[in-house]
């Protein structure tokens, strides 16, 4: 893949091509990974960057220079830089401690351009279903002020907010939650148990109830796709499209109750149709059968004429 020219993407490509695999992980191990990802690594990265800012500020003789560095450390640009470094640190730590190398590369690309239509239908269907039903209850739960302030600071610059939400977050969260946690849990528990546990952990990572409910449901969809295809890129694309569609207007802001109820019914019906169309187009069950067959063939070593 051309992405290998960017070294940071090599672990993602290795996971996609099954040259890299998650170790067997239990519940406590999954919680530890979640804490590393959502708290410890970001805090350490930001602490190091703040020290770097302080050193840079101290090297300037004027108070204005120091003050400008301090201001920069609180800006959305600092958040973007820390997010990029946290992404690199997360990939390094996960690969170093929670993965193993394999000798059985997957022989074929796991998705095609035509899958994009299926993904859009599936995720758009999910967003419409959620907006027309559960969102009316979830929106009654207040978002913590710290989370709300973080969103407001991030989207002071819309471009930085979009890059973070649509590019960085899907890569980082899918690599950890599906590629490491779900993959590792599925080696110790049944697929259903692993899917539910990983989705609960994914929801808890958001550290607030409104987002957590949405993330849990999304985690079930993304996890199901990953279990059927073992394609980290496919789940990343789904996650990215979901975050993109999250910017859709919220119908709960409508003051006309009859219009709100009518739109909710339309959203639920349309969402159900699109969701089913997306599942049918992705054809995940038959794809899993085909992929498993390819894996069985790929374990046959022609040179020695033996099964590996």
pLDDT in tens, 205-239: 998 898 999 999 999 999 999 999 999 999 999 99
Which residue do the tokens 């690309």 mark? 109
pLDDT band at 71 (very low <50, low <70, confident <90, very high): low
Which residue do the tokens 């004429």 mark? 305
Length reported for the chain: 308
Instruction: For the chain, state the CA radius of gyration.
Output: 22
Prediction pTM value = 0.89
pLDDT band at 248 (very low <50, low <70, confident <90, very high): confident
Look up residue 8 and give its DSSP letter. G
User: Tens digit of pLDDT for each residue in 19-63?
Assistant: 999 999 999 999 999 999 999 999 999 888 888 877 776 665 555
Task: Say yes or no to pLDDT of 1 above 60.
Answer: no
Tokens, residue 302: 């022609």
Hey, how many other C-beta atoms are within 10 angstroms of the C-beta on 47?
Answer: 11
Which residue do the tokens 């220079």 mark? 65
Mean pLDDT of 235-258: 87
Which residue do the tokens 């003789």 mark? 61
Distance between CA 69 and CA 9 in Å, rounded?
A: 31
User: Tens digit of pLDDT for each residue in 104-161?
Assistant: 889 889 988 889 999 999 999 999 999 999 988 888 888 888 777 777 777 777 888 8
Q: Which residues pair with 21 in a beta bridge?
A: 100
Per-residue confidence (pLDDT) for residue 271, from 0 to 100: 96
Q: How far apart are the first and last CA of the chain?
A: 26
């Amino acid at each position: 893949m051309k992405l290998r020219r960017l070294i940071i993407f090599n672990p993602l490509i290795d996971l996609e091509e099954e040259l890299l695999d998650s170790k067997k992980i239990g519940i406590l191990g999954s919680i530890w990974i979640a804490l590393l990802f959502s708290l410890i690594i970001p805090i350490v990265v930001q602490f190091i960057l703040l020290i770097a800012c302080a050193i840079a500020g101290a090297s300037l003789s004027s108070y204005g220079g120091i003050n400008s560095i301090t201001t920069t450390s609180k800006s959305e640009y600092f958040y973007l830089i820390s997010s990029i470094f946290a992404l690199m640190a997360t990939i390094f730590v996960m690969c170093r401690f929670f993965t193993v190398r394999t000798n059985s590369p997957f022989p074929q690309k796991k998705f095609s351009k035509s899958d994009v239509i299926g993904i859009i239908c599936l995720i758009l269907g999910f967003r419409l279903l959620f907006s027309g039903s559960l969102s009316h209850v979830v929106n009654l739960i207040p978002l913590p002020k710290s989370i709300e302030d973080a969103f407001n600071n991030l989207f002071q610059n819309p471009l930085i907010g979009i890059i973070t939400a649509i590019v960085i977050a899907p890569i980082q969260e899918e690599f950890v939650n599906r590629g490491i946690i779900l993959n590792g849990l599925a080696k110790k528990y049944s697929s259903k148990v692993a899917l539910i546990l990983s989705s609960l952990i994914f929801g808890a990572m958001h550290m607030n109830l409104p987002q957590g409910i949405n993330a849990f449901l999304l985690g079930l969809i993304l996890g199901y796709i990953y279990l059927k295809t073992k394609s980290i890129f496919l789940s990343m694309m789904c996650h990215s499209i979901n975050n993109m569609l999250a910017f859709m207007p919220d119908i709960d802001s409508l003051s006309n109750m009859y219009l709100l109820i009518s739109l909710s019914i339309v959203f639920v019906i349309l969402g159900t149709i699109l969701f089913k169309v997306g599942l049918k187009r992705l054809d995940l069950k038959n794809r899993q059968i085909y992929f498993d067959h390819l894996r069985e063939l790929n374990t046959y070593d022609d040179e020695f004429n033996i099964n590996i």
